[in-house]
Amino acid sequence: MSQRPAGGAAILNLYNFPMETLTPKTNFIREIIDADLASGKFEGCVHTRFPPEPNGYLHIGHAKSIILNSGIARDYKGKFNLRFDDTNPSKEEQEYVDSIIEDVKWLGGDFEDRLLFASDYFQAMYDWAMELVKKGKAYVCDLSADEMRGYRGTPSEPGKDSPFRGRTIEENVNLFERMKNGEFPDGSRTLRAKIDMAHPNLNLRDPAMYRILHAEHHRQGNKWCVYPMYDWAHGLEDSIEKITHSICTVEFENHRPLYDWFLDALGIYHPQQLEFARLNLSNTVLSKRKLLELVRDGHVAGWDDPRMPTISGFRRRGYTASSIRAFCDEIGVAKFNSIIDIWVLENAIRNELNAAAPRVMAVLKPLKIVIDNYPEGLVEEMDAVNNPGDEAAGTRKVPFSRELYIEQDDFKEVPPKKFFRMTPGQEVRLRAAYIIKCESVVKDAAGNITEVRCTYDPATRGGDAPDGRKIKGTIHWVSARHAVAAKVRLYDALFTKRNPDDVEEGHDYKENMNPGSLEVIEKAYCEPSLKSARPGERFQFERLGYFFVDPKDSAPGAPVFNRTVTLKDTWAKIEQKPQG
Ligand code: ATP
Ligand code: MG
């Protein structure tokens, strides 16, 4: 399958994650902002926000929203808020708040001192609700949630008025106050907007504004036992913060008339809502409910399992923030939903690491070779190039000796056609060392190859033959005596299907999980320079891919390597084509 290069190569600093200077592509949202600035709307200000609900870890779809919103604020010299939409007390936890702050900062979302919580506006929201009650625009309703649904109608049929719609203003003021004071049980009453039960947009058929819930809130404690509904709260939050462009995903397009109704009824500041298509990524799921289920039920090792599409998962896998920004720039911002192939994201990090990651050698599945004509006890320090694309990266010394490890896959006793690696009687080049030739194999009683005996050509130090003879294959190796053992983890897609949700009736997306998504190699052999690899460093293991030193599981002198991405696109193996 053909590889598509990602746009704008980013400059990588291995230890920090700079805001590299990608020039963002324009998009329809930026065009609207340009027009607003030109017409003097919002007095030339641009103020965006990212409003997560703290009920899970952020994923790559959220990254798109953060990068879009904070990038606009940065480029238009405006402001960007991080605002927790913490209006639902039962699902929220401090762990999520902390992880979200870390992820937004890591992605370069600069909210300065504007770390905000919607729960801080509860009093203002309550006062505004009371204002609508007093204007006769909201009423207390005693229908249960089920009954309310029954009265709501359908897109083709109007709803029916609630029997409580005609309550007097005095009665509503009294009941709403008593709801707030905790006099009624959970679910017994709601406060509803008095709009139109026959409205063609179902969102405007007297939507609930408040529900009764005797629950402790992570910031407000037990102060409140009425909690605002999302649709009531959301527009108010943007209004309070004087957000100019309230950017959200397309599912909210038909909620916009309701937000407008509330703001108009109150006569308060009006942001402009703009909707863009949410990001869907192939071979994974981006629903918080499903991600939570994968974590809670132990299908993955946690929110930051490197197979997860969470920002913390990508970070632990070795992705950089700049590669995620490059990916978002590459895919752009559209109005229509689609599924982006995961290899587009993989290309973004591959491009970056190809330019910047130092090359090293490691053998994942070792086969011992002995060079019979190499003096026993001799160790030569070979000069290996750190990055062929970057002369300034220089060279390093790699010890060479009589006994080495190579990959099992690089040896075939009976070679297939065009096998240019090691096979009896054929010369092969050891990267940065010598040309060697397999002379014989040693097997155990069961017939398994235990070692390969070779000879080397001493005139080929560095890997080139002075007589110019062509050697087609080059393989990597490590000196057995000097090798450093390390744990290495290889990852594959979490789901084998492009769209894991594409299942037959009665089946579950989890049936599409890839049983081979994680392969752990307990004892790989690495060149000795890797003994001092520090958590957070990145390398290219020659011919094997790009690897990241796991920040949690590595110990001094004992790095654990996570494969970030393979050297080439390996997606040909996995289902690619859109279904049906
Ligand atoms: P929930 O169902 O819990 O509301 P959510 O994914 O919408 O899930 P939020 O915390 O409400 O989670 O999302 C915060 C912001 O991230 C919202 O403004 C939302 O529009 C945006 N967002 C969420 N998922 C995506 C996605 N896949 N692509 C782009 N933006 C997204
Ligand atoms: Mg949401």
pLDDT in tens, 381-416: 999 999 998 999 999 999 999 999 999 999 999 999
pLDDT per residue as tens digits for the range 38-48? 999 999 999 99
Q: Average model confidence (pLDDT) for the chain? A: 93
Residue 177 and residue 101: Cα distance in Å, rounded? 35
Ligand 1: residue of 57, 58, 60, 62 to mutate (most ligand atoms within 8 A of CB) is 62
Take atom 25 of ligand 1 and give the residue whose Cα is closest: 61
How far, in Å, is the centroid of ligand 1 from the Cα of 168? Answer: 39
How far, in Å, is the centroid of ligand 1 from the Cα of 246? Answer: 13
CB 65 near ligand 1, within 6 Å = yes
Q: How far is CA 195 from CA 187, 199, 271, in A?
A: 22, 8, 21
pLDDT for 21: 46
CB 234 near ligand 1, within 6 Å = no
**pTM for the full predicted model:** 0.92
Q: What value does the mean pLDDT take over residues 539-565?
A: 97
CATH superfamily of 8-120+234-348: HUPs (3.40.50.620)
Residue pair 346/565 in contact (Cβ under 8 Å)? The answer is yes
Token pair 């203003």 in the structure block, residue: 169
Confidence label for 22 from pLDDT (cuts 50, 70 and 90): low
Residue 126 and residue 402: Cα distance in Å, rounded? 79
Query: Where in the chain do CATH 3.90.800.10 domains reside?
Result: 121-229
Handedness of CA 202, 206, 209, 213 (dihedral sign): negative
Judge residue 13's burial from the number of C-beta atoms within 10 Å of its C-beta, 0-12 exposed, 13-18 middle, 19 or more buried: exposed
- Name the DSSP class of 76: T
Q: What are phi and psi of 64, to 5 degrees?
A: -60, -45
Take atom 8 of ligand 1 and give the residue whose Cα is closest: 288
Residue 489 has pLDDT above 50, yes or no: yes
Token pair 């099992």 in the structure block, residue: 408
Q: What value does the mean pLDDT take over residues 92-96?
A: 86
Question: Which numbered atom of ligand 1 lies nearest the CA of 249?
Answer: 20
Question: Which numbered atom of ligand 1 lies nearest the CA of 65?
Answer: 30
Handedness of CA 516, 345, 509, 304 (dihedral sign): positive
Tell me, yes or no, if 171 is annotated catalytic. Answer: no
pLDDT for 269: 97
pLDDT per residue as tens digits for the range 280-313? 999 999 999 999 999 999 999 999 999 999 999 9
pLDDT for 284: 98
Residue 130 and residue 299: Cα distance in Å, rounded? 47
Tell me, yes or no, if 511 is annotated catalytic. Answer: no
pLDDT per residue as tens digits for the range 170-191? 999 999 999 999 999 999 999 9
Q: What are phi and psi of 20, to 5 degrees?
A: -70, 165
Confidence label for 578 from pLDDT (cuts 50, 70 and 90): very low
pLDDT for 2: 33
Ligand 1: residue of 29, 49, 59, 65 to mutate (most ligand atoms within 8 A of CB) is 65
How far, in Å, is the centroid of ligand 1 from the Cα of 52? Answer: 7
Confidence label for 3 from pLDDT (cuts 50, 70 and 90): very low
Q: What value does the mean pLDDT take over residues 502-521?
A: 97
Residue 407 and residue 366: Cα distance in Å, rounded? 5
Q: What value does the mean pLDDT take over residues 116-123?
A: 98
pLDDT per residue as tens digits for the range 342-363? 999 999 999 999 999 999 999 9
Query: Among 25, 160, 278, 487, which one carries the catalytic annotation?
Result: 278
How many residues belong to the chain?
580
Query: Where in the chain do CATH 3.40.50.620 domains reside?
Result: 8-120+234-348
Q: What value does the mean pLDDT take over residues 98-107?
A: 98
pLDDT for 572: 44
Question: Which numbered atom of ligand 1 lies nearest the CA of 53?
Answer: 10
- Name the DSSP class of 349: H
pLDDT for 418: 93
Three-class SS of residue 297? coil
CATH superfamily of 121-229: Glutamyl-tRNA Synthetase; Domain 3 (3.90.800.10)
How far, in Å, is the centroid of ligand 2 from the Cα of 421? Answer: 53
Residue 90 has pLDDT above 80, yes or no: no
CB 279 near ligand 1, within 6 Å = yes
Residue 5 has pLDDT above 70, yes or no: no
Take atom 13 of ligand 1 and give the residue whose Cα is closest: 52
CB 87 near ligand 1, within 6 Å = no
Identify which of 59, 565, 127 has the alpha carbon closest to the alpha carbon of residue 287: 59
How far, in Å, is the centroid of ligand 2 from the Cα of 329? Answer: 23
How far, in Å, is the centroid of ligand 2 from the Cα of 28? Answer: 22
CB 278 near ligand 1, within 6 Å = yes
Residue 6 has pLDDT above 80, yes or no: no
Query: Among 25, 41, 53, 451, which one carries the catalytic annotation?
Result: 53
How far, in Å, is the centroid of ligand 2 from the Cα of 5? Answer: 32
* Axis-axis angle for helices 60-75, 94-106 (nearest 10): 50
pLDDT for 570: 55
How far, in Å, is the centroid of ligand 1 from the Cα of 59? Answer: 9
Residue 406 and residue 365: Cα distance in Å, rounded? 8
CB 340 near ligand 1, within 6 Å = no
Q: CB under 8 Å to 249, separation ≥6 — which residues?
A: 65, 275, 276, 277, 278
Q: What value does the mean pLDDT take over residues 451-468?
A: 96
pLDDT for 569: 63
Residue 338 has pLDDT above 90, yes or no: no
Tell me, yes or no, if 278 is annotated catalytic. Answer: yes
- Give me the percent of the chain exceeding a pLDDT of 90: 91
CB 7 near ligand 1, within 6 Å = no
CB 277 near ligand 1, within 6 Å = no
Take atom 4 of ligand 1 and give the residue whose Cα is closest: 53
